[in-house]
Every structure is written in C-alpha cells, then in structure tokens.
C-alpha cells in the first residue's frame, strides 16, 4: 500500500499521540539500543532518541521513511519489512505502535523480532485487537456486497487477534509475556461525518480498488449512513478502535 505521509501527519497524528502512552510501557533507558518497528514518520523514534536511546526506525513504506529522515536527520531510518529485517547488532528492545495489525503472518514477525533481540530483550507493542473497527469493517462489507462487490476477504488487510491468541504466539516463540491488555479506545474522527470516508481513503483503499468514482462516492455515503447510530455522538464521530498491548521478554 502507498502511504500519503503528509496526510498521515496532518489528519492522523493521533496515531503517534496515542503511541506516547505505549512508550511509557517501554520505560526507555539512556544508552539502550531500540528498534522502532513500523516507525511511520518518526515521531516516537524521536521521543525515544530524546530520552537518550540509540534508536533505529524501520518502515515498509518508502514515503514514510523519506518524511522521517527529513524530520529527524540525526536518527537512522531504513526501509525494511517486519518479517525479514535483519541487523548485525541485536537490540535491547523492539517497540511497535499501530503496525502489527498490518501483517497477517504474525508468527513470522514474532520470530524475526525474537532473532533480533538480545537475551532478556523486551518486545513492547500496541496494535488493533480483536473487534477493532468492527462496525466500520462490517458496514463497508455490507454496502460493498449490496453493490455486488463480494470478493472482500483478500481485500481485508488486517489482523486483529485476541490477547490469548497473541500471547500464545509470543510464548510459542520463546517469549515470556509479562503484561497484556485489551481495551476500547473510541477515537475521534476529524471532520465529523466526512471523517468516515477520509479514514477509509487513508487506511482501507484495498476495499475500493477498481470502483468508479461516482459509485464510490455513493458507497462511502451509504457506509457513513450505516455507521451513524454507532459513531455519532453530539455532532462528533468516534471510530470503534480496540487496542491490544503487550510486554514480552526474550527468554
């Protein structure tokens, strides 16, 4: 997927703002070598760097890495994929915010993180948990189905596991899971009613590939109508985010 890094920073900066509280779970210590897995435009990597860590940020998106390098030229950023990155020197910690739900092969990511950590190294993350955005996804599939677009399983790019499922995978790889939680985080959409279409344009374009513009406009309108009773509250629209957080130690 091609990312619009400018739009991401402008309208979706809540992603890294929420990530600040996940950083507290990591309790960064000066001098630690930390990998930010899925660093986006680099804001959280920069915060870790300001705390004295030796940070490397990786992201699969060249657009995100180009912006991160521009914003924070003193931090090392590289284009790399979560399932096959490999560094000569292992890390004290791997941190990941709002990225792991983009990779369906969770076992491959967990294995790769494990292989790139020092013994007793720490893997800390937050991403979409079971039921994340379920109203948005259900409304999208319902309306697309109504218009005859039914091949939706391969269009759905996300992996939203339960705590039990993800902890089981971490343990199977050799991690000790010291903390995990799953919670609701209703998230304000910018621009009210328009926010639904904007979110879907930014994060879910794979659902709409090949649909002519006029029809797409109508489809997005109907998805928005369907979501109104769940999303609208006093003129503000809130998306049904659900987060999964964890701390896992390499044994």
Report how far residue 10's alpha carbon sits from residue 123's, in angstroms, rounded to the nearest whole number.
Answer: 29
Nearer to ligand BEZ, 87 or 158 (CB): 158
Cα-to-chain-centroid distance, residue 95 = 12
Cα-to-chain-centroid distance, residue 173 = 22
Number of residues assigned to the chain: 251
> Which of 240, 245, 226 has the alpha carbon at shortest distance from 134?
240
Q: How far is the CB of 139 from ligand BEZ (least distance, A)?
A: 14
SS3 110: helix
Mapping DSSP onto H, E and C, the string for 13-35 reads CHHHHHHHHHHHHHCCCCCCEEE
* Residue 183 in tokens: 């919670």
Among residue numbers 146 through 175, which ones bind ligand BEZ (CB under 6 A)?
Answer: 158
Q: How many CB atoms lie within 10 A of CB 20?
A: 12
Nearer to ligand BEZ, 125 or 128 (CB): 128
- Indicate the pairing of strand 54-59 with strand 33-37: parallel
Q: How far is the CB of 192 from ligand BEZ (least distance, A)?
A: 19
Stretch in the footprint of ligand BEZ (CB under 6 A) among 56-64, 126-134, 174-182, 219-227: 126-134
Collect contacts of 34-37 with beta carbons under 8 A, ≥24 apart: 34/91, 34/92, 34/93, 34/94, 34/95, 35/87, 35/91, 35/93, 35/94, 35/95, 35/116, 36/95, 36/96, 37/82, 37/85, 37/94, 37/95, 37/96, 37/99, 37/113, 37/125
Binder among 46, 116, 132, 224 for ligand BEZ (CB under 6 A): 132
Binding-residue total with ligand BEZ (CB under 6 A): 8
Q: Does residue 250 belong to the site contacting ligand BEZ (CB under 6 A)?
A: no
Q: How far is the CB of 18 from ligand BEZ (least distance, A)?
A: 8
Q: Does residue 101 belong to the site contacting ligand BEZ (CB under 6 A)?
A: yes
Q: How many CB atoms lie within 10 A of CB 217?
A: 12
Stretch in the footprint of ligand BEZ (CB under 6 A) among 64-72, 103-111, 127-135, 217-225: 127-135
For residues 188 to 207, the per-residue mask of contacts with ligand BEZ, x marking binding by CB under 6 A and - elsewhere, is: ---------------x----
Binder among 98, 143, 196, 248 for ligand BEZ (CB under 6 A): 98
Q: How far is the CB of 60 from ligand BEZ (least distance, A)?
A: 14
Nearer to ligand BEZ, 53 or 223 (CB): 223
Nearer to ligand BEZ, 1 or 172 (CB): 1
Q: How far is the CB of 244 from ligand BEZ (least distance, A)?
A: 9
Nearer to ligand BEZ, 77 or 203 (CB): 203
Residue at shortest CB range from ligand BEZ: 128
Residue ranges in contact with ligand BEZ by CB under 6 A: 98, 101, 128, 132-133, 158, 203, 241
């Amino acid at each position: 997927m091609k990312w619009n890094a400018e739009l991401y920073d402008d309208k979706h900066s809540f992603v890294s703002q929420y990530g600040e509280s996940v950083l507290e779970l990591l309790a960064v210590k000066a001098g630690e070598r930390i990998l930010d897995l899925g660093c986006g435009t680099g804001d959280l990597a920069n915060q870790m760097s300001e705390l004295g860590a030796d940070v490397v940020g990786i992201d699969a998106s060249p657009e995100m890495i180009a912006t991160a390098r521009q914003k924070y030229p003193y931090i090392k950023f590289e284009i790399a994929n979560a399932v096959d990155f490999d560094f000569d020197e292992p890390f004290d910690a791997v941190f990941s915010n709002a990225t792991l739900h983009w990779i369906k092969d969770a076992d491959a990511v967990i294995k790769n993180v494990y292989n790139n950590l020092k013994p007793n190294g720490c893997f800390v993350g937050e991403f979409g948990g079971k039921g994340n955005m379920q109203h948005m996804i259900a409304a999208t599939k319902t309306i697309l189905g109504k218009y005859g677009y039914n091949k939706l399983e391969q269009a759905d790019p996300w992996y939203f596991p339960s705590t039990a499922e993800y902890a089981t995978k971490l343990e199977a790889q050799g991690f000790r899971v010291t903390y995990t939680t799953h919670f609701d985080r209703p998230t304000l959409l910018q621009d009210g009613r328009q926010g639904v279409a904007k979110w879907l344009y930014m994060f879910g374009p794979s659902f709409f590939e090949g649909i002519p513009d006029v029809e797409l406009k109508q489809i997005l309108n109907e998805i928005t109508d369907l979501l109104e009773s769940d999303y609208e509250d006093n003129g503000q629209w809130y998306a049904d985010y659900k987060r999964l957080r964890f701390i896992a130690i390499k044994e």
